Structure 1
Amino acid sequence: MRGSAGKTGAKVGETMGEGFSQRNKTEKLTVTALMTALFAVTALAFKGFVIIPSITELRPVNALPLIFGLLFGNLGAIASALGNLFGDAVGGTLTFASLGGMIGNFAMAYIPYKVWGALLCKRDENILLLDSAKNYLWYFILALLSAIPAAVIIPLFTDFFGFVSYNILFGIIFANNFLVECTIGVVLYGFFSRACLKGKLSAVRAMVFSLDNVRGKRMAALVLAVNTFLAFGLSVFFFFNYSNEIGQLAILVPMAILAAMMLLSMVK
Structure 2
Amino acid sequence: MMGEGFSQRSKTEKLTVTALLAALFAVTALAFKGFVIIPSITELRPVNALPLIYGLLFGYLGAVASALGNLFGDAVGGTLTFASAGGMIGNFAMAYIPYKIWGALLCKADEDIFLLTGAKSYFWYFVLALLSAIPAAVIIPLFTDALGFVSYNILFGIIFVNNFLVECTLGVVLYGFFSRACLKGKLAAVRKLVFSMEGVRGKRVAALVLAANTFIAFGLSLFLFFSYSNEPGQLSILVPMGILATTMLLSMLK
Does residue 96 (structure 1) correspond to residue 82 (structure 2)? The answer is yes
Aligned residues: 254
Does residue 253 (structure 1) correspond to residue 239 (structure 2)? The answer is yes
Aligned to 1:68: 54
Aligned to 1:53: 39
Correspondent of 1:200 among 186, 202, 205: 186
Does residue 217 (structure 1) correspond to residue 206 (structure 2)? The answer is no
Deviation at 1:16, TM superposition (A): 2.1
Percent identity for Structure 1 against Structure 2: 85
SS in 1 for 2:89: helix
Aligned to 1:175: 161
Measured against aligned partners, the alpha-carbon deviations of 1:83-136 in whole angstroms (never above 9, x if no partner) come to 000100110101110000000000000000000000000000000000011111
SS in 2 for 1:264: helix
Does residue 109 (structure 1) correspond to residue 95 (structure 2)? The answer is yes
SS in 2 for 1:243: coil
CA RMSD, Structure 1 to Structure 2 (Å): 0.5
Question: d(CA) in 1 for partners of 2:57 and 2:251?
Answer: 21
Aligned to 1:161: 147
Correspondent of 2:70 among 70, 84, 93: 84
Does residue 143 (structure 1) correspond to residue 143 (structure 2)? The answer is no
Question: d(CA) in 1 for partners of 2:14 and 2:63?
Answer: 13
**Structure 1 unmatched runs, 5+:** 1-14
Aligned to 1:3: none
Aligned to 1:264: 250
Question: d(CA) in 1 for partners of 2:26 and 2:94?
Answer: 16
Aligned to 1:228: 214
Does residue 184 (structure 1) correspond to residue 166 (structure 2)? The answer is no
Deviation at 1:261, TM superposition (A): 0.2
Question: d(CA) in 1 for partners of 2:120 and 2:6?
Answer: 38
SS in 2 for 1:51: strand
Measured against aligned partners, the alpha-carbon deviations of 1:142-174 in whole angstroms (never above 9, x if no partner) come to 000000000000000000000000000000000
Question: d(CA) in 2 for partners of 1:87 and 1:204?
Answer: 23
Correspondent of 1:35 among 21, 34, 48: 21
Question: d(CA) in 2 for partners of 1:156 and 1:106?
Answer: 16
Question: d(CA) in 2 for partners of 1:34 and 1:154?
Answer: 25
Question: d(CA) in 1 for partners of 2:189 and 2:253?
Answer: 28
Question: d(CA) in 2 for partners of 1:178 and 1:23?
Answer: 38
Question: d(CA) in 2 for partners of 1:208 and 1:21?
Answer: 13
Measured against aligned partners, the alpha-carbon deviations of 1:193-246 in whole angstroms (never above 9, x if no partner) come to 000000011111112111011011100000000000000000000000100000
Question: d(CA) in 1 for partners of 2:86 and 2:227?
Answer: 24
Measured against aligned partners, the alpha-carbon deviations of 1:16-47 in whole angstroms (never above 9, x if no partner) come to 21111111101100100000000000000000
Correspondent of 1:123 among 77, 95, 109: 109
Moved over 4 A (4+): none
Question: d(CA) in 2 for partners of 1:205 and 1:86?
Answer: 22
